[in-house]
């Protein structure tokens, strides 16, 4: 549709040398021809963000096989393990990552080599996937377990786009800076939604705060999407200075919970930019709730505590997605109840490769996020149900304790987990990174939390670290923290 509508408009890259929509379509048809003649059942992509990603995404779709973007930072062993779960994968890898696949039996080609070959390949015609075919397989980040392949079918992605994006709605000079990696559902979502909206895509291959700000200025970027750890690094880099990026009209964040202190600092640094919080899961084809710029503005100026609180909300459900809050046993809670979020709609997949559908008989999917809605339908995400700490019979959300710690001027990052305890069942351990040059001891921070929250929510131990373990998409690796805490105890 995009190519037919305006073939010469630049789809990806710089205005003067980027790839037009027509070129994107032709390149994808060439890729489809190569995939088909190789007899591949999946097209695997191990590469950085860049124009190759949209070409491969549409090339795979035209060939009727799923694209499987993988995390190129994984070990050779882990990547070979992932390939072992596929039928007949053809691997396209950036030159830096080709060696990692040396031990696998799959056919491996380099990204530039494959794109060059596609230019002269016999284009595939008439192979297109049906709406029920898998479009993308995404290995979930596996913060609590081994990675599993989430299956997103064409109908899930198409419904997501049709419900949330207006075709051609972008202004002619709109350009989006994509900095989330291709193996995250937000990377897939950004290709589809920006091409459909008609927004030129500019890719930042590897994120640095300075590189991100410079590219926004150079390319007159009007919108961008970041995960919370990226925004935290930008804010820290600015160190209280304004960002000075007049072209940036909108900044979307999501993929993990945004610490309130980072959001507040970002709102000060980007006073003329409209902020959007996008909440979603891989299994729901990305965004299912949105808090838009108007909501952010209203919350900032309101005297009403309920409206002010919405600054930290995930917003309202997008069209086509229904939500329920349920008790742990699956009973639906009355309005205002706190419990687990269940969702239903045509973009919700929930399916993992090789497993039965986890949807219940009526099509509802359990997100495992703890949440509640306010009176006007604003969704608040409280954290993963699995991360809840149960101390002396009381349920404690790590996020609440983390947010209290982050309000202390010395604290840069905080992560809170439960550790086994004979007396209390679990005790609260906080891992803290302090700002450069800042000084804080454990007792001071414990007293600080105690003065803000109940005594029972005060961390029992505070461990100081130089850094905390995150996935590249900004998710805290709590499993890794538990392991670190156990190692520390053994050393003591």
Residue among 121, 176, 314, 317 that touches ligand AMP (CB under 6 A):
314
Residue among 93, 367, 477, 478 that touches ligand AMP (CB under 6 A):
367
Question: Could you tell me which of 261, 280, 253, 81 has the C-alpha nearest to residue 163?
Answer: 280
Nearer to ligand AMP, 61 or 341 (CB): 341
Residue among 369, 382, 403, 413 that touches ligand AMP (CB under 6 A):
369
Which residue is listed with tokens 């156990």?
486
Vertex 135: Cα angle to 342 and 277 (nearest 5): 45
Q: How far is the CB of 233 from ligand AMP (least distance, A)?
A: 18
**Token couple for 222:** 């009007």
Residue among 47, 51, 182, 254 that touches ligand AMP (CB under 6 A):
254
Q: How far is the CB of 73 from ligand AMP (least distance, A)?
A: 15
Q: Is 388 exposed, middle or buried (0-12, 13-18, 19+ CB in 10 A)?
A: middle
Residue among 34, 44, 70, 381 that touches ligand AMP (CB under 6 A):
381
Q: How far is the CB of 40 from ligand AMP (least distance, A)?
A: 26
Find the part of the chain contacting ligand AMP (CB under 6 A) among 10-18, 78-86, 104-112, 249-257: 249-257
Find the part of the chain contacting ligand AMP (CB under 6 A) among 166-174, 192-200, 251-259, 446-454: 251-259
Nearer to ligand AMP, 89 or 254 (CB): 254
Is residue 179 a contact residue for ligand AMP (CB under 6 A)? no
Q: How far is the CB of 486 from ligand AMP (least distance, A)?
A: 24
Please say whether the beta carbons of 483 and 143 come within 8 A: no
Q: How far is the CB of 388 from ligand AMP (least distance, A)?
A: 12
Please say whether the beta carbons of 308 and 299 come within 8 A: yes
Q: How far is the CB of 473 from ligand AMP (least distance, A)?
A: 7
Q: How far is the CB of 256 from ligand AMP (least distance, A)?
A: 5
List C-alpha distances in Å: 281 to 78, 254, 369.
23, 10, 10
Provide Rg for the chain, Cα atoms. Answer: 23
Residue nearest to ligand AMP (CB): 282
Site string for ligand AMP, 255-284 (x = CB under 6 A): xxx-------------------xxxxxx--
Kind and range of the H or E element at 234? helix 228-238
Q: How far is the CB of 291 from ligand AMP (least distance, A)?
A: 8
The dihedral through the CA atoms of 256, 261, 265, 270 has a sign that is positive
CA 48 – CA 51 distance, rounded (Å) = 10
- How many Cα atoms within 13 Å fall on the side-chain side of residue 376? 9
Please say whether the beta carbons of 143 and 475 come within 8 A: yes
Residues 436-455 binding ligand AMP (CB under 6 A) are none
* SS3 assignment, position 368: strand
Nearer to ligand AMP, 384 or 408 (CB): 384
Number of residues that bind ligand AMP (CB under 6 A): 18
H helix intervals, 330-456: 398-406, 442-452
Q: How far is the CB of 365 from ligand AMP (least distance, A)?
A: 11
Nearer to ligand AMP, 67 or 370 (CB): 370
CB count, 10 Å around CB of 225? 24
Nearer to ligand AMP, 20 or 140 (CB): 140
Nearer to ligand AMP, 226 or 381 (CB): 381
Q: How far is the CB of 444 from ligand AMP (least distance, A)?
A: 29
- How many Cα atoms within 13 Å fall on the side-chain side of residue 216? 26
Is residue 384 a contact residue for ligand AMP (CB under 6 A)? yes
Nearer to ligand AMP, 87 or 319 (CB): 319
Q: For the chain, how long is the longest CA-to-CA vector?
A: 70
Nearer to ligand AMP, 212 or 279 (CB): 279
Residues 185-244 binding ligand AMP (CB under 6 A) are 185
**Token couple for 327:** 């008790």
Q: How far is the CB of 187 from ligand AMP (least distance, A)?
A: 11
Report residue 299: phi and psi, to 5°: -65, -40
Q: How far is the CB of 60 from ligand AMP (least distance, A)?
A: 21
CA 155 – CA 261 distance, rounded (Å) = 38
Which residue is listed with tokens 């919970």?
257
Nearer to ligand AMP, 104 or 277 (CB): 277
Residues 116-145 binding ligand AMP (CB under 6 A) are 140-141
Kind and range of the H or E element at 134? strand 134-139
Nearer to ligand AMP, 62 or 314 (CB): 314
Nearer to ligand AMP, 44 or 231 (CB): 231
Classify 7 in phi/psi space as left (phi over 0), alpha (psi -120 to 50) or beta.
alpha
CA 260 – CA 239 distance, rounded (Å) = 17
Classify 198 in phi/psi space as left (phi over 0), alpha (psi -120 to 50) or beta.
left
Residue ranges that bind ligand AMP, judged by CB under 6 A: 140-141, 185, 254-257, 277-282, 314, 367, 369, 381, 384
């Amino acid at each position: 549709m995009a190519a037919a509508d305006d073939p010469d408009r630049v789809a990806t890259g710089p205005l003067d040398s980027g790839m037009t929509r027509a070129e994107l379509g032709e390149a994808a048809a060439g890729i489809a021809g190569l995939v088909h003649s190789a007899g591949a059942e999946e097209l695997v992509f191990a590469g950085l963000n860049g124009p190759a990603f949209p070409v491969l995404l549409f090339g795979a779709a035209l060939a009727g096989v799923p694209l499987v973007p993988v995390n190129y930072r994984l070990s050779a062993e882990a990547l070979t393990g992932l390939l072992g779960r596929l039928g007949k994968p053809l691997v396209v890898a950036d030159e830096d990552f080709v060696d990692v696949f040396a031990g696998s039996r799959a056919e491996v080609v380099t990204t530039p080599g494959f794109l060059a070959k596609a230019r002269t390949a016999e284009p595939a015609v008439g192979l297109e996937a049906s709406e029920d075919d898998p479009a993308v397989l995404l290995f979930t980040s596996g913060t609590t377990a081994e990675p599993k392949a989430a299956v997103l079918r064409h109908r899930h992605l198409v419904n997501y786009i049709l419900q949330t994006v207006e075709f051609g709605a972008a202004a002619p000079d709109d350009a989006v800076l994509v900095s989330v990696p291709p193996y995250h559902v937000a990377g897939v979502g950004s290709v589809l939604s920006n091409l459909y909206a008609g927004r030129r895509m500019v890719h930042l291959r590897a994120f640095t705060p300075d590189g991100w700000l410079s590219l926004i200025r150079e390319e007159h970027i009007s919108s961008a999407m970041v995960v919370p750890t990226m925004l935290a690094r930008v804010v820290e880099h600015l160190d209280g200075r304004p960002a000075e990026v007049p072209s940036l009209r909108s900044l979307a964040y999501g993929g993990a919970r945004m610490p309130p202190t980072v959001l507040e600092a970002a709102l000060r640094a980007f006073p003329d930019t409209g902020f959007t919080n996008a909440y979603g899961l891989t299994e729901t084809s990305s965004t299912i709730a949105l808090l838009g710029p108007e909501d952010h503005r209203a919350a900032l100026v309101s005297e009403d505590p309920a409206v002010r609180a919405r600054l930290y909300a995930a917003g309202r459900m997008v069209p086509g997605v229904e939500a329920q809050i349920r008790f742990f046993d699956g009973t639906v809670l009355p309005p205002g109840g706190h419990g687990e979020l269940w969702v239903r709609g045509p973009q919700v997949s929930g399916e993992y490769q090789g497993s039965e559908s986890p949807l219940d008989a009526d099509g509802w999917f359990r997100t495992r996020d703890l949440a509640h809605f306010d009176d006007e339908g604003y969704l608040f995400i409280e954290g993963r149900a699995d991360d809840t700490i149960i101390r002396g019979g009381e349920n404690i959300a790590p996020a609440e304790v983390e947010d209290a710690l982050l309000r202390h001027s010395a604290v840069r990052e905080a992560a809170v987990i439960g550790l086994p305890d004979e007396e209390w069942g679990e005790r609260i351990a906080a891992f803290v990174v302090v700002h450069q040059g800042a000084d804080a001891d454990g007792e001071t921070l414990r007293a600080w939390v105690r003065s803000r929250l109940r005594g029972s929510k005060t961390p029992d131990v505070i461990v100081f670290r130089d850094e905390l373990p995150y996935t590249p998409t900004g998710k805290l690796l709590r499993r890794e923290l538990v392991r670190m805490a156990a190692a520390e105890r053994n050393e003591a």
